[in-house]
């Protein structure tokens, strides 16, 4: 394991997201300013300045041209990934918590918290190709949930939205009518706040983490409980490996108690479980506070582009493939497995696995 320590935030991390190609990593924190990093070596590319509150989550379009962020300043913002320009601001009467683009990037789901006299909602917004045509109008507003919605994600083919949050209940909603199709069983489901939710690469199942010290694997269509992974700490973040039958779980004791205990007592390491056998297979230490965010590289590996250019071509031109006047040759070199973690300590840790990771025997 060869971790790279990335310091770009002044406050605790809240969320991590890779782009589809796995070469960029976006990080959110309570310091108001999302960052973007090279995923292979941890170099910071830039920041997105404009929020006035903690940024709780983000998502990036499939072509890596747009970023959406949700913040405690009661806004969600659209950004140009390359330039950092703010393209549009969705304004609400409550903090925006969870954001995610739909397949095709033509829609986005944004959740708002229960705040003052406002009830929590999940709202579907249309994302226009031209920012000048963008509207704040909601195509669908889902309400009737008690307690904050911590995560809302799209189901297969954009036909459903899956929500989870403070009331410890997972719900599947119809995106046409806004009606609730299914709810998780109260006895089999989580018993405390659900803090995180991560989908598998094929969207056939998803993983949830909870303050009840467990993570659970669910069938996306039927909401059937498949597996349960039990830990000895509250779970703040989860993710599913795109390569192996592994899941990673992170958390730790409450942030308010961090300064009163040794980091070893706080259980701040990321734990790996076999997805099928439910057995713990290892852990990764390093953070000096609870882990709040985890993310596997989408293809499970770290990759870097080795390019030989004839003439002058900028990295931005290369990324967008817009410069057709220069000749170049390039090749993609794959390195070992990669995942990242973000903690209450304000650090992002980029982890490159050793080859032994692929040969773990149970």
What string of DSSP letters covers 241-274? Answer: -SSSSEEEEEE-S-GGGGGGS-HHHHT-SEEEEE
CA distance 206 to 78: 26
Q: What is the pLDDT of residue 1?
A: 58
Determine the pLDDT at residue 186.
92
- Tell me the pTM: 0.87
What is residue 362's predicted lDDT score, i.e. its pLDDT?
Answer: 65
* For residues 95-106, average pLDDT: 97
CATH architecture of 4-352: 7 Propeller (2.130)
The reported pLDDT for the residue numbered 323 is 39
Domain ranges of the chain: 4-352
**pLDDT of 114 strictly over 50:** yes
Q: What is the mean pLDDT of residues 151-168?
A: 97
Rounded distance between C-alpha atoms, residue 138 and residue 86, angstroms: 20
- pLDDT band, residue 308 (cuts 50/70/90): very low
pLDDT value at residue 3: 83
Closest by CA to 295, choosing from 349, 332, 219, is 349
- The answer to whether 195 and 236 have CB atoms below 8 angstroms apart is yes
Kindly report, residue by residue over 276-295, the tens digit of the pLDDT: 999 999 888 888 899 999 99
Averaged pLDDT, 292-303:
78
Buried (b) or exposed (e) across 24-56, using 16+ Cβ within 10 A?
bbbbbbbbbbbbbbbbbebeeeebbebbeebbb
């Amino acid at each position: 394991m060869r971790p790279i320590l990335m310091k770009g935030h002044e406050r605790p991390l809240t969320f991590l997201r890779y782009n589809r190609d796995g070469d960029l990593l976006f990080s959110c924190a309570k310091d108001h300013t999302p960052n973007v990093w090279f995923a292979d070596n941890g170099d910071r590319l830039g920041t997105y300045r404009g929020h006035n509150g903690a940024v709780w989550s983000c998502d990036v379009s499939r072509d890596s041209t747009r970023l959406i962020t949700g913040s405690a300043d009661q806004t969600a913002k659209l950004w140009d990934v390359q330039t950092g320009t703010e393209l549009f601001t969705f304004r609400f009467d409550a903090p925006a918590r969870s954001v995610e683009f739909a397949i095709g990037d033509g829609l986005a789901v944004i959740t708002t918290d229960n705040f003052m006299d406002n009830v929590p909602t999940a709202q579907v917004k249309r994302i226009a190709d031209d920012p000048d045509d963008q509207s704040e109008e909601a195509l669908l507003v889902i309400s009737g949930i008690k307690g904050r919605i911590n995560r809302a994600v799209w189901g297969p083919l954009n036909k459903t939205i899956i929500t989870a949050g403070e009331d410890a209940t997972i719900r599947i909603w119809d995106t046409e009518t806004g009606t609730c199709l299914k709810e998780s069983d109260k006895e089999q489901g989580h018993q405390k706040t659900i803090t995180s939710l991560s989908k598998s690469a094929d969207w056939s199942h998803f993983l949830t983490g909870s303050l009840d010290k467990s993570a659970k694997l669910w069938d996306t269509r039927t909401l059937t409980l498949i597996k349960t992974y039990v830990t000895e700490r509250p779970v703040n973040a989860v993710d599913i490996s795109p390569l192996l039958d592994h899941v990673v779980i992170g958390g730790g004791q409450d942030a308010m108690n961090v300064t009163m205990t040794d980091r070893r007592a706080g259980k701040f390491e990321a734990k790996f479980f076999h997805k099928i056998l439910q057995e713990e297979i290892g852990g990764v230490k390093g953070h000096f506070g609870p882990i709040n965010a985890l993310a596997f590289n989408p293809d499970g590996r770290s990759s870097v582009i080795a390019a030989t250019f004839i003439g002058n071509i900028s990295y931005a031109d290369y990324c967008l493939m817009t410069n057709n006047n220069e000749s170049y040759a390039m090749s993609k070199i794959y390195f070992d497995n990669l995942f990242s973690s973000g903690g209450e300590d304000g650090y992002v840790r980029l982890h490159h696995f050793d080859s032994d990771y692929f040969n773990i025997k149970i």
